[in-house]
Chains A and B, each alone.
Chain A
Amino acid sequence: MEIPYTVEPRPDTGVYNAKLGIWLFLASEVMLFGALFSSYVLLRVGATTWPHGYEHLNIPLATVNTVVLITSSVTMVMSWASLAMKDIRKYRVYMGSTVALACVFLVIKGFEYAAKFEHGLYPSGSTFLAIYFTLTGLHGLHIIGGIIVNCYLLGPGTRMWKTDPARFTNRVEVAGLYWHFVDLVWIFLFPVLYLL
């Protein structure tokens, strides 16, 4: 049986099913990160002293990571735009760049974590470190999830371009919506944890 509304919009919703699905998933993700941000506010406001992020964390590395992630968002949306313009070669370049940039982000994050561990700074060290590792760790897991999906779309998933290009283009758009959300979370994590 064929899956309905993978390309054409469903009359009652006005969008193809996967798009509504990803937005509902992202709504649940907003609540997941929202609960953690809310906990952060509660802990920070209730604490008698709270370290400044810039005293303990590496701002230059985090700034580079911000640039890397924003750039990967642009390459992701460009990969979708390339498919919409029927250019599979450019799609591969942009999607490959997105995956590569995501890996760069994780490597830099790895260096940051390693530096903390070398100095004996673990999540159990303080409330600040606990919330720092929880938020950046959960965000890092989302990056890994995005890399897996994007690698599939770059590798075996590309086969669909020959059989059903419109559906494949929509798949890339949906994966892009998730990826931009991961970027969006970092846009808030960066000032909240590092700069304030």
Chain B
Amino acid sequence: METASAESVRKHVRVYVTVFVALMALTLITVTISTLHLQPAAAIIVALCIAALKASLVAAYFMHLISEKKLIYAALTLTVVLFLVLMVLPVSHFADRGL
């Protein structure tokens, strides 16, 4: 983004507004769905999918990850892998106990 021209930034601004509207809509949707009190498994999947979608929009457009350099992608790929390991740890704990 360091070479962003004024014209390309103007295009960005339109995207930011669109993403903002999408984030607001997704917030409304996730709150509305939560009032339905779905089965726990379904509720968790739906809530986390919407959260992941919102997070992707923020990361891709506000944090400019959609057009970033390879080194940043490499660092973040490693981070995602290690984050997934952290998330799998509790699951493996219960798998060990045969629960």
Which residues of A are in contact with B by a Cβ distance under 8 Å?
A: 7-9, 13-16, 19-20, 23-24, 27, 30-31, 34-35, 37-39, 41-42, 45-46, 54, 59, 63, 66-67, 70-71, 73-74, 76-78, 81, 84-86, 166, 170, 173, 176-177, 180-181, 183-184, 187-188, 190-192, 194-196
22 contacts between A and B (CB under 8 A): A16-B2, A20-B72, A20-B75, A23-B72, A27-B78, A30-B79, A31-B83, A31-B86, A34-B82, A42-B89, A42-B90, A66-B27, A74-B62, A76-B62, A176-B62, A176-B63, A180-B59, A181-B63, A183-B58, A187-B55, A190-B51, A194-B34
List chain A residues, Cβ under 8 A from B48: 191-192
Size of B's binding interface in residues, CB under 8 A: 49
**CB of B81, distance to nearest CB on chain A (Å):** 11
For chain B, residues 60 to 97, give those with C-beta under 8 angstroms from any C-beta of chain A: 62-63, 68-72, 75-76, 78-79, 82-83, 86-87, 89-91, 93-94
List chain B residues, Cβ under 8 A from A34: 82-83, 86-87
Contact partner, B90, options A15, A45, A67, A170, Cβ 8 Å: A45
Contact partner, B31, options A27, A37, A59, Cβ 8 Å: A59
List chain A residues, Cβ under 8 A from B30: 190-191, 195
**CB of A165, distance to nearest CB on chain B (Å):** 13
Which residues of B are in contact with A by a Cβ distance under 8 Å?
A: 1-2, 4, 6, 9-10, 12-13, 16-17, 19-20, 23-24, 27, 30-31, 34, 40, 43-44, 47-48, 50-51, 54-55, 58-59, 62-63, 68-72, 75-76, 78-79, 82-83, 86-87, 89-91, 93-94
Q: Would you list the 3 A-B pairs with minimal beta carbon distance, nearest first?
A: A42-B90, A14-B69, A191-B47
User: A42-B93, A66-B27, A77-B62 are known contacts. Are A35 and B1 too (CB-CB below 8 A)?
Assistant: no
List chain B residues, Cβ under 8 A from A74: 16-17, 19-20, 62
A14 to B93, CA, bound (A): 41
**CB of A145, distance to nearest CB on chain B (Å):** 17
List chain B residues, Cβ under 8 A from A81: 9, 12-13, 16
List chain A residues, Cβ under 8 A from B87: 34, 37-38, 41
A190 to B47, CA, bound (A): 10
List chain A residues, Cβ under 8 A from B2: 7-9, 15-16, 19, 166, 170
List chain B residues, Cβ under 8 A from A71: 20
Contact partner, B51, options A76, A78, A187, Cβ 8 Å: A187
A170 to B69, CA, bound (A): 16
Q: Is the CB of B71 within 8 A of A20?
A: yes
Q: Is the CB of B16 within 8 A of A14?
A: no
List chain B residues, Cβ under 8 A from A195: 30-31, 34, 43, 47
